[in-house]
Amino acid sequence: NADVAMYRVKEHGRNNYRFYTPEMTHMAIDRLDMEGNLRRALERDELLVYYQPLVDFTTGRIVGAEALVRWQHPRIGMIQPSEFIPLAEDTGLIIPLGQLVLRQTCADIKAWQALGLPPVKISLNLSARQFRQDDLSATIREVLDEMAVDGHLLAFELTESMVMHDVENTLDTLRELKTLGATISLDDFGTGYSSLSYLKRFPIDTLKIDRSFVRDIHHDNDDSAIAHAVIAMAHKLGIKVIAEGVECAAQLDLLREFGCDELQGYFFSRPVPVEEFTLMLKQGRSLADLADT
């Protein structure tokens, strides 16, 4: 579809003609169009929260999930976050989008509680612009209070690039988030700069090893050495480790051997709609079920 294609061209830069269409000269207009579309999407319930399970290595059980937004466009169909999160970030629409994801997540948590399901911890992604919001923790607290959800059930995911500037402000914001009862995860770990000093300086609870290190872990000695060392170091600092992008049993076996705490990845489940995630919780789906099939 044209308006999405236009935006892709812009995102991928001048030299990428993969999504070229003859109407490319209208790119600026279409970007505006896309912005208008996203604005309307926020009002029309076109944004959905999918959940991808986080699984405990020791018990094999689901202990949490990452909330990942999807855009169900009435004409184009499902649009992935990489196609609209950058635009949302540029335009400031990420603020109402983040509010929407938080509200939806809280509503889903309430629904799971009403069903008597065991509590799971939900991870929410924060982008740079959200993180720099002055009243970030206050607005989150408002939603938690209004919806009567315990902040201990939430984790906030940040990337290294977001915490590296302005150490004092970062520290303040992280402390405020923690007073909500939430935990802090460092997302995409290993892809940024000066990773180690931040683990020491900031109150990080969890580290998510980026999937680029997990991908070849069973073939590449360097990647496996890095993953092993990162897990050992994090544990010495009292930090929990989640492996992202686990896609096969060989990766899983190695990560378990290295003492990794939780896994996330297509091997267990892709991100799924709330109904499907609720079903997994009801069934108590676990790693053992995968071995059976």
The site for ligand C2E (CB under 6 A) is made up of 52, 68-69, 80-82, 85, 94, 98, 101, 125-127, 157, 187-188, 211, 245-247, 264-266, 271
Task: Name which of 17 and 44 has its Cβ closer to ligand C2E.
Answer: 44
Judged by the rule CB under 5 A, the positions of this chain that interact with Mg ion are 125, 157, 187-188, 210, 244
Please give the DSSP secondary-structure letter assigned to residue 125: E
Task: Name which of 17 and 266 has its Cβ closer to ligand C2E.
Answer: 266
Cβ neighbourhood burial of 60 (10 Å; 0-12, 13-18, 19+): middle
CB of 166 to ligand C2E, least distance (A): 19
Task: Name which of 30 and 187 has its Cβ closer to ligand C2E.
Answer: 187
Residue 265 interacts with, from ligand C2E, Mg ion, none (CB under 5-8 Å by kind):
ligand C2E
Task: Name which of 24 and 248 has its Cβ closer to ligand C2E.
Answer: 248
Cα 113 from chain centre: 22
Residue 140 interacts with, from ligand C2E, Mg ion, none (CB under 5-8 Å by kind):
none
Q: Are 165 and 175 in contact (CB under 8 A)?
A: no
**Phi and psi at residue 164, to the nearest 5°:** -75, -25
Q: Are 140 and 180 in contact (CB under 8 A)?
A: yes
CB of 270 to ligand C2E, least distance (A): 7
CB of 172 to ligand C2E, least distance (A): 20
Q: How many CB atoms lie within 10 A of CB 250?
A: 13
Task: Give the residue carrying structure tokens 């003609």.
Answer: 17
Q: Of 40, 38, 50, 42, which Cα lies nearest the Cα of 105?
A: 50
CB of 116 to ligand C2E, least distance (A): 27
CB of 239 to Mg ion, least distance (A): 16
Residue 82 interacts with, from Mg ion, ligand C2E, none (CB under 5-8 Å by kind):
ligand C2E
CB of 283 to Mg ion, least distance (A): 25
Task: Name which of 23 and 220 has its Cβ closer to ligand C2E.
Answer: 220
Residue 108 interacts with, from Mg ion, ligand C2E, none (CB under 5-8 Å by kind):
none
Cβ neighbourhood burial of 146 (10 Å; 0-12, 13-18, 19+): exposed
Task: Name which of 24 and 205 has its Cβ closer to ligand C2E.
Answer: 205
Q: Where are the beta strands (DSSP E) in the chain?
A: 47-56, 62-73, 77-79, 121-125, 154-159, 183-189, 206-209, 240-243, 262-263
Residue 214 interacts with, from Mg ion, ligand C2E, none (CB under 5-8 Å by kind):
none
Rg (CA), the chain: 20
